[in-house]
Amino acid sequence: MLNFDVVGSGPRLEAVGPQTLQNQALSIADDPEVEAQPGTLPPGAASDHVPFQDKGIPALLLFGPDISRIHTPEDVLEFINPELLGGAYLISLAILESDQFGR
């Protein structure tokens, strides 16, 4: 399961998930067009990937670490970093095209 949450906010993408998926995402992020690093969610925070993880389904969360405006009136387009959206796309496409998914 690939989960994208606030991927356009902040200076980089962060990846959270099983080590194999996280490593795969970060190896793709070695590309100069993609800036990502291992991430951790704030204490008590969760995202839509958690129910999948709880059922044993491998899930990768890609998110932007700046959640200061999420669910507020200041959560507007001008704060979106389009390069991060492109990086999330490149990471997810590479994972979906990998041998792990039968291609």
Residue linked to tokens 């606030």: 6
The pLDDT-based confidence of 92 (bands split at 50, 70, 90) is very high
For the chain, domains (ranges, CATH) are 2-40+48-101 (3.40.630.10)
Token look-up 């399961």 returns 1
Q: Answer left, alpha or beta for residue 102, where phi above 0 means left and psi between -120 and 50 means alpha.
A: left
- Global pTM? 0.84
Q: What is the mean pLDDT of the chain?
A: 86
The pLDDT value recorded for residue 61 is: 93
26 — pLDDT class (breaks 50, 70, 90): confident
What is the Cα–Cα distance from 11 to 54, expressed in whole angstroms? 29
